Structure 1
Amino acid sequence: MDKKIALSDFEKVKQWGTSASLNDDLILLSDVTNLPQMTEPHRLNFIVIGLCQQGSARYMLDTEEKIINQGDIIIVSDRHVVDHVTSSDDFECVGMALSMKFFYEVIREVSDISALFLYSRYHPVMSLSEQEQQMFHDDFKILNKKITETQNHFHKELMRTLILAMFYDLSNIIYRAQSIKEDHQTRSDIIFTRFIRLVEENCRQQRRVSWYAQQMNITPKYLSQSVRNVSGRTPNTWIDNYVTLELRLALKNSTKSIKEITLDFNFPNQSFMGKYFKEHTGMSPSDYRKN
């Protein structure tokens, strides 16, 4: 990794304003007034969602300038490179930061939400109507109240459910924005969106780019070019990311043996699966499960 591009520190998000947090998974920010004035690029390893209440801010996202004004919602996904962040003196924002692990735990069984959030990856700033802004504030108010109720035996599960409900509201906003811009989608955009949906549905069984290209009736070369054009990543990278994520979830949330998980994911044998998992996480499946 380029020394000038550092992974931003999730914990430092708490310094942006008044905050409440859920372990290392979620940070709620009720009044962001201390937006960091970044002068060096940072690659995010978490998701930021915020609503600008007052003032404005500018930043570079993957070398492209973005401007946030009052009433705009911003969704910045993981792996994006953020640089040159500046804000007006009267800037105010409310929002949250979620670890990628927690984000995928929330949406893992809702493919439509995942696909809609994928749209926001390339359209990170959207203007909200007054009604949509009020909806965001209402959802956030409930989250901010419930996050302090740590005595609740089902606290994390409750927070996960409330965030999922908020994501449905956000996804409706994204769906509206996507519908408006559908006529302007490129062929690569359409291919990429369909590819990701196929990966989400089939990554446990299929890891070959050629298989996905065949389902889409295009050549592997054309699929690779389209995915690279839109995302800057190869199809193999996307497939590996999803497979690794699903493996992590299976190892953490399932009582199945590693041998059974190996069969579920269509690996030829347990040794092969172990090497694959370690290559992408730096840990063996058994060590990951223990930790």
Structure 2
Amino acid sequence: MINEIDHISVESAMQVYNGPSIEHDLLVFDDFEELPVIGIPKRMDCIFLAVCLGGEAHYTVDTEERTVKANDVIIISEGQVLNNSWFSDDLSGIAIMMSEDFFNEVIKGVHDLSSLFLFSRSHPVFELSAEEVETLMTYLRIIKHKVETTDHHFRRDVVRSLMAAMIYDISHVMYGVQQGDKRKQTRAESIFTEFIRLVEQNFRAERRVSWYAERLCITPKYLSETVKTISHRTPNEWIDKYVTLELRVQLKNTSKSIKEIAKDLNFPNQSFLGKYFKEHVGMSPSAYRKS
């Protein structure tokens, strides 16, 4: 009997696969046989994105059965549970594991991408045309090459930009799938999607779950239960995710003082921001800025 579900992250995958990587944020696989996903259930502490070039695979994501074949793209989101994996002997393709922090850096400020990747939670496999596969493989080959170029001073930034361009093209395909989807969203899915949209628009000023529940015309308890069921995270965890990402971005990419950043994000004062940041990131804002 399995008492606990194993977790898999970029860091843990790097311990069993010596592929091209950027710190503990991104790992490239060009050999599907090396994917550390076979065996007991594993909860994803990262985002998995792959394109299948040949063969077939079967697995479950959050107990839903999935089949992958040539020309399919696979997306498994952070927090989802992968199980019952089976690969055919001729399975081939290329895959990327990336930390959620790195993914958030990539899509920061990009309109509609967050909602599209939320859509991928219920549509983790979709088919590409031959032309779309070739475009995606071109991106992945260049990304792999840049990840391997360890002496490039701007390696991380170049890879992040290439990932953003690739994700735009993937999201274009996902948008078409979304528009053609005949399955009606459940009430829970609709609430979660609308909650994320509200958080993206208002997290700088509002961090109270009750405020979001009021806008959605439901109770805070019902909102919390719904969001937890759909995403395996609480509303507070989602709000904190957006706030800490914005803090990271401003600390690393602007010359604003910490006091100014505290004002921008509606913290009572600089000290309060410091305590919040250290609690969620593990270091002070000034230490993070210097790191």
Fold conserved between structures, TM > 0.5: yes
CA contact (8 A) 2:106 2:161 kept: yes
Secondary structure in 2 matching 1:111: coil
Q: TM-score, normalised by structure 1?
A: 0.86
Distance 1:206 1:182 in 2: 34
Q: Offset of 1:16 from its aligned partner?
A: 8.0
Go from structure 1 to structure 2 and tell me whether the alpha carbon gap of 1:152 and 1:286 turns closer, same or farther (over 3 Å shift). Answer: closer
Name the amino acid aligned to 2:245. Answer: L
Give the conservation status (yes or no) of the 8 Å contact 1:4–1:40.
no
Confirm or deny that 1:243 pairs with 2:243.
Answer: yes
Q: Deviations over 1:167-195 (max 9, x none)?
A: 00010111112112255212322221121
Equivalent positions of 1:268-279 (< 5 A) are 268-279=268-279
Q: Which amino acid aligns with 2:117?
A: F
1:97 Cα deviation (Å)?
1.5
Output the CA distance in 1 between the equivalents of 2:120 and 2:166. 15
Instruction: Report the Cα distance in structure 1 between the residues aligned to 2:256 and 2:157, rounded to whole angstroms.
Output: 22
Per mean C-alpha deviation after superposition, the further-off stretch among 149-158 and 71-80 is 149-158
Q: Does residue 160 of the first structure (1) align with residue 160 of the second (2)? A: yes
Count how many residue pairs are aligned between Structure 1 and Structure 2. Answer: 290
Moved more, 14-23 or 190-199: 14-23
Q: Is the 8 A contact 1:61 1:81 kept in 2?
A: yes
Q: Contact 1:53–1:93 at 8 Å: present in 2 too? A: yes
SS in 1 for 2:34: coil
SS in 1 for 2:68: strand
Name the structure 1 match of 2:78: 78
Scaled by the length of structure 2, the TM-score of the pair is: 0.86
Q: Name the counterpart of 1:194.
A: 194
Question: Which amino acid in the other structure matches residue 109 of structure 1?
Answer: G
Counterpart of 2:35 in 1: which secondary structure?
coil
Tell me the equivalent position of 2:264: 264
| Match in the other structure for 2:56 | 56
The amino acid of 1:120's aligned partner reads: S
Distance 1:271 1:72 in 2: 49
Worse-superposed segment, 135-144 or 196-205 = 135-144
Map residues 20-99 of structure 1 onto 2, 5 A cutoff.
20-36=20-36, 38-99=38-99
Partner of 1:280: helix, strand, or coil? Answer: helix
1-side partners of 2:29 and 2:90: how far apart?
A: 17
1:286: Cα distance to partner? 3.7
CA distance in 1, matches of 2:281, 2:155: 28
Q: Which stretch of structure 1 is more off in the superposition, 125-134 or 112-121?
A: 125-134
Structure 2 CA distance for aligned equivalents of residues 182 and 7 of structure 1? 33
Structure-2 change in CA distance of 1:279 and 1:148 (3 Å): closer
> Matched residues in 1 for 2:174 and 2:180: separation?
10
Unpaired segments of 5 or more residues in structure 2?
none
CA contact (8 A) 2:42 2:82 kept: yes
Residue 71 of structure 1 aligns with an amino acid whose one-letter code is N
Q: Does 1:142 align with 2:153?
A: no
**Matched residue type, 2:240:** D
Q: State which drifts further: 31-40 or 256-265.
A: 31-40
The alpha-carbon deviation at position 199 of structure 1 amounts to 0.9
Q: Deviations over 1:205-233 (max 9, x none)?
A: 11012322343444444433442342243
Aligned partners of 1:202 and 1:3: how far apart in 2? 39
Bigger mean CA offset, 191-200 vs 65-74: 65-74
Preserved contact between residue 17 and residue 33 of structure 1 (Cα < 8 Å): no
Identity of aligned residues (%): 48
